Amino acid sequence: MQKIPHSTVQRLVLCYSLAQKALTRGDMYLRSQDIAALLQVDETQIRKDMAIVGIGGVQKRGYPVHRVVQRLEELFAVRMEKLAALIGVGNLGRALLNYPGFAKYGVRIVCAFDRDPEKVGREVNRVFVYPIEALGEVIPRFGVQMAILAIPPHSAQEVADALVALGVRGIWNFSSALLRVPREVAVRNECLESGLLLLLHKMWGENHVSFPKE
């Protein structure tokens, strides 16, 4: 199959969530028109996206919800169980541990790591916290495939290198560090600082006068 454009994947993520909602509502079909309105894009775009991943529609009805859900679950590999490690059990890390979204998408956090001796040796949400030095022993033991990085940026690259060396295939990076990893390792940057700055730009960016604090 041809490579799926990244912009298409982004829209399909949203389609997936819409399709799940439609499924619980009991709707049989989703029309490109309605999806497009919610995503605020052109409806042709949605039809093209569907075609790209091989989801066919039915004239006068729309796209069969169950087929959309099925195909997109395949595309996002949500029915496959994925074992994950959480690195950094700070405020954000703990919030992620309690996050209901993971289980829903087949991600199971099986171990956590922290540098702080206060946190090491305890359980958070039934997940044991290991010292960061134990990475090399614990990651292979559990067969961890992906890591969630919720640590300060200064040590992020070092930890990422270790994770990659241990065979981790994907990193969900909440630090502001720009990680360098081999091509075959997937990284998703979820830097909140960046998100905040993008919002601030939308709010006050461009042609405005910025008043200094003092």
Smallest distance from DNA to CB 146, Å: 25
195 binds, among its own copies, DNA, none (CB under 5 to 8 A by kind): its own copies
For position 57 contacting DNA by CB under 7 A, the verdict is yes
Q: CA 32 to CA 76: how far, in whole Å? A: 21
State yes or no: residue 115 binds DNA (CB under 7 A).
no
Instruction: List residues bridging with 128 in a β-sheet.
Output: 123
**Angle 6-25/65-75 helices, nearest 10 degrees?**
130
Nearer to its own copies, 2 or 59 (CB): 2
| 140 contributes a contact to DNA by CB under 7 A | no
- The amino acid present at 181, given as its one-letter code, is V
Partner touching 61 among its own copies, DNA, none, CB below 5 to 8 Å by kind: DNA
Compare residues 29 and 105 and give the one whose CB is closer to its own copies.
105
Give the whole-angstrom CA distance, residue 15 versus residue 5: 15
Map residue 197 onto helix, strand or coil: helix
Q: Which residue has the tokens 């990085």?
A: 149
- Whole-angstrom Cα distance, residue 38 to residue 49? 15
Q: Which of 17, 38, 44, 81 binds DNA (CB under 7 A)?
A: 44
Among 2, 24, 60, 126, contact with DNA (rule: CB under 7 A): 60
User: How many residues of this chain bind DNA (CB under 7 A)?
Assistant: 24
| Residues found near its own copies in the complex (CB under 8 A) | 1, 3-4, 9-10, 13-14, 16-17, 38-39, 73-82, 90-92, 94-96, 98-99, 101-102, 104-107, 145-146, 169-170, 172, 176, 178, 186-188, 190, 192-208, 210-213
Give dist(CA 103, CA 134) in Å, integer: 25
What's the order of all strands across the beta sheet hosting 127-131? 123-124, 127-131, 107-114, 82-87, 146-149, 170-173, 186-189
Interacting partner of 48 out of its own copies, DNA, none (Cβ under 5 to 8 A depending on kind): DNA
Residue with tokens 């399909």: 12
Q: For binding to DNA (CB under 7 A), which residues are involved?
A: 5-8, 31-33, 41-45, 47-48, 50-51, 56-63
